[in-house]
Each structure stands twice: as structure tokens, then as C-alpha cells.
Amino acid sequence: MPSSMAQTLKVGLIGAGGIVRGAHLNPGWLADPDVEILAVCDVNEKVAQKLAEDFKIKHIFTDFCELLKLKEIDAVDICTPNKVHTPAVIGALEAGKHVLCEKPLAVTVQEILSMREALRKTDRILMTAQHHRFSEASVAIKAWVDTGAMGEVYHARVNATRRNWLPTSAGFIDPNLSGGGPCMDIGVHALDTALWLMDFPKPVRVSGRAHTNFAKGFDIPGGWGEWDRVLFGVEDFASGYIHFSNGSTMVLEASWLQHQEKEELNATLQGKKASMRWPTGHFHTVTNRTLIDGMVLPHAGRKPAHTEEILAFARAIREKTPSPVPIEQTIHVIAILEAIMKSSQLNQEIVMPDWDADSAK
């Protein structure tokens, strides 16, 4: 039963796929006793009906615009194909709803800037669902980095690479729905977390390359089954080299298919006092000319990362505090990923606009 002290939040779900069922809803929203899931929307009515039946959700829609007309809804949780994020986010903000949206918030900076304009006209919260920031390991590593134990971070190596885990649905491989391949799908996770640990230095120049090396062929078997080679229209590998205004640099690699031992989702930060490996927490330093290896232990007792992310969003709404994942940070993440793809297309380095200066206008 909801507590008498907390504000009961009424939530609408836009999208009823696997990420909603297995992470955002259970144990995510259901971990908050002061939340009522009031409505669900999905273009596949049968999927929406099934979720509503399983979790006793009152209202079912196939058009998110109809869901947004429910005045009693306080917040929406958007888990749709990437290309639907922008109209759903803007529509929700204009309807006076708080918004949690799955990553990537959008696939172009221009779309996010349009979201920011809508956000400026309301007192609502918009949060990108970057759940890796909320894991036991990430929270502990961030606390350690913030003590200054690494010193100045001058370089980072960021990996989001797989041997044969290519998502097969059209929402990932059709550019009209996804807007990109592994760079946007899993590169966004590792990049966001690395930038967060680095306290978000400003990107100023980006070089990138993107290729479709294996996804059109049949040499590498798919861990999640077969996919439509004709429909496949995104990259299966991308890499980028990023320069920041403080002089630091970063190398990013993202892939769904390539020859390697196992899946990697990690980042190594090189500091002048120590290096740190996320998410293992292993660090390397020196004291009195003695080489020292150590490990930052995870903050035990936390709920799963998706759940902690949702609880942080709900807490910010109730306490009227800023978004746990500010839109300005998300702009930098998407700007880098977009620049990697643009650099590859144009075969030239991309000079980044100053988004922070634009924000101050």
C-alpha cells in the first residue's frame, strides 16, 4: 500500500517491449510502493494488452498521443524505437508530464535541442535512462574518482564490443527506426558512463569511422538468431577519437559483430596519479616508488541499476530536484556519437559547436 507521507506518482508506459517488462516495470517501478502504473501504450495492441493483463494496468492505447491526454498521469516512461523518442518526449513535456526516456534520448543533437526548448517552457523533469551510472560498481567508482585519487585524467579507452550479439529486430537494424547501429545502441552506455566519471569535459573535435563488416554476410552466427540482411542498414562497427577542451582525449569502439574472445563493455581512465577500470573497479598507482594495484569494492546493498535509476527519477519528481541525468550531459554524449558517424561519412574531422554556450543564451 502507498505510504501516507509520499506522493503517489501515476505513470504511463509508452512502449511495452522486453526492456519495459524485464527492467523498467519489474522490478523497476514496482519497487516503489507509491507508484501506480495507470496506462500502457504500444503500436502492437496485443503486446500492450498482455502487459496490462499481467500487471493490472487500467488503460491501453496504441497511440501515445491518446495516453498523454490522461490528466491524472504525472510521468511517462518511454521505451520505444529510437526514432519515436523525440515526438513522444516533446509531446509528453507539452502535456505537462515528467519524462524518463530510454537511451539514446535521440540520435541527433538537433532533436535533443528541440526537447530542450520544450523543457524550458515547463517545470517538468526530463531524464535519459542511463542505468549504468546507478550500478553498485559505478557508484563506488565515481565516489573514488571524485576524491581526486586519479589526479588529472588525460585519456580514456572506451569499449562496447561484442563477438556475435547483434539484435535482430527492425527497431535496431532499420535506420528508419534506430537511427544507427552499435554506436547508438551500446556505445552510448559506455560513453555516457566514461564521460560521467570524467566529470563531462567538453568535446571539441571528433574523428570517426563506421563500417558494415560482417552483418551483410553469414560467416558469424548470431547469438540471438538470424536477422534480415536486406533490411540491415546501419553499421556493425564504429570507432572514434575525441579531443576535449581540457586537453584530454578518448578512444571509443563499438561493435555488434567482430572477432574477439567475449563481449566487452568497459572503460579505462588514465590519470596522472592512477588509472581506473570500469566496471571492475581495478586501479593502478604508485606510492613511494612502489607500484600498487587495488580494487574499489562495489557499494553493496543497492537494487538493480534499472531500479535505482527509476527510483532516482521518482525521488527527483517528489523532491523537486534537478534531473539525475541532465539534458546538457546527454547533448554531449549524442553530439560525440553523431560526430563519429558524420566524420566517417565526410572523411574529415568534425569541429564541435559549444552547446553549453548555446544553453546560456
Grid cell of 160 as nine digits: 562496447
- Whether residue 42 lies inside any domain: the answer is yes
- Whether residue 282 lies inside any domain: the answer is no
Across 133-152, average pLDDT:
97
pLDDT tens-digit map of 207-265: 999 999 999 999 999 999 999 999 999 999 999 999 999 999 999 999 999 999 999 99
| Same domain (yes/no): 87, 58 | yes
The pTM of this model reads: 0.94
| Same domain (yes/no): 120, 81 | yes
Buried b or exposed e, range 248-280, using 16+ CB within 10 angstroms: bebebbbbbbbeeeebebbbbbbbeebbbbbbe
At residue 5, does pLDDT exceed 80? no
pLDDT tens-digit map of 8-41: 999 999 999 999 999 999 889 999 999 999 999 9
pLDDT of residue 357: 60
- Which stretches of 132-282 are DSSP H helices? 136-145, 170-173, 175-178, 182-185, 187-197
Environment class of residue 89 by beta-carbon count within 10 Å: exposed (0-12), middle (13-18) or buried (19+)?
A: buried
At residue 1, does pLDDT exceed 60? no
| Same domain (yes/no): 208, 73 | no
- Whether residue 285 lies inside any domain: the answer is no
CATH number at residue 88: 3.40.50.720
| Same domain (yes/no): 71, 174 | no
267: domain range?
Answer: 152-272+334-351
Environment class of residue 142 by beta-carbon count within 10 Å: exposed (0-12), middle (13-18) or buried (19+)?
A: middle
| Same domain (yes/no): 125, 163 | no
Domain count, the chain: 2
